[in-house]
Amino acid sequence: MSTPDPADSSYVHGSHPDEQQRLSLLNGLLNDVCLRELRLRGGERVLDVGSGLGQFSRAMARVAARVLGIERDPGQLARAHALAHAASESHLAEFRQGDALALPLLPGEAGHFDLIHSRFLLEHLRDPLGAVREMARAARSGGRIVLADDDHDILRLNPEPPGFAPLWVAYQRCYDRLGNDPWIGRRLTSLLHAAGARPTRVTTIPFGSCAGDPHFPVFAANLIGVIGTARERMVEMELIEASAFDFATGALREWKERPDAAIWYSMCWAEGIV
């Protein structure tokens, strides 16, 4: 789960420690179900593009033979090494700094990997097709590319908090203004095809919850946190007034305490064969 370089103006969220904590908790919610969907057989050589904190890279490495994680942000990379060390899992995966648009592959690595995986990366790139083409370059003949990303238009809250609809529209427009695609999830098969891979499977990963679920507070906090990191940009771009932003996020905090609150969402998932 990538965090591109905060100096890159196309990235919305930054890499403050609070943001790293949000991403770490998000990994905890998604990693098990994503690992099941990957259907690793064991012995595969895996490239994780946009590996972020490295938690999912290490989860894959417990099954696969070798995992190489590529992460652009040096802060996230350092945190990935620290987390691996704390878990006594530094041996499981290799982490390397590099850009998804110019993968830092060593001689002999291109055309070598059985599986190339990317999650929550393409939505933050101005050239997502360039990144998927790089993934195709890294895959062996017959290797798989797995893309998992957002279509932010899918999100629904019930009961909908006051002011949330314009807040969420403004959040999506923030991506659009930065040259990114907040609806890229629906285009994953097109990206695979354009990069020379044959799309073979699509599915969705449930990413919803309700107040009676023990994990609901984490889901709700993630939603509030991901919007909160974009506040400055959204206001600067005049996508929403500061007062309207604060009113809507305040309503969100009240909503998450409701006994009937629910989040309906899912992550888009597409696989292709090179």
Map residue 108 onto helix, strand or coil.
Answer: coil
Question: Bridge partners of 267?
Answer: 205
Rounded to two decimals, the pTM is 0.88
> Which class is domain 17-273?
alpha beta
| Res 29: pLDDT | 79
Question: Bridge partners of 203?
Answer: 269
| Res 207: pLDDT | 85
Give the domain ranges of the chain: 17-273
Map residue 77 onto helix, strand or coil.
Answer: helix
| Res 62: pLDDT | 93
φ and ψ at residue 105, rounded to 5 degrees: -85, 140
List per-residue pLDDT tens for the chain, 274 residues long: 444 443 344 655 555 565 556 566 666 778 889 999 999 999 999 999 999 999 999 999 999 889 999 999 999 899 999 999 999 999 999 999 999 999 999 999 999 999 999 999 999 999 999 999 999 999 999 999 999 999 999 999 999 999 999 999 999 999 989 999 999 999 999 999 999 999 999 999 988 999 999 989 989 998 999 899 899 999 999 999 999 999 999 999 999 999 999 999 999 999 999 9
| Res 99: pLDDT | 96
Tokens 């704390």 correspond to: 86
Amino acid at site 115: L
Query: Exposure of 182 by Cβ count < 10 A (0-12 exposed, 13-18 middle, 19+ buried)?
Result: buried
| Residue 7 CB neighbours (<10 A) | 8
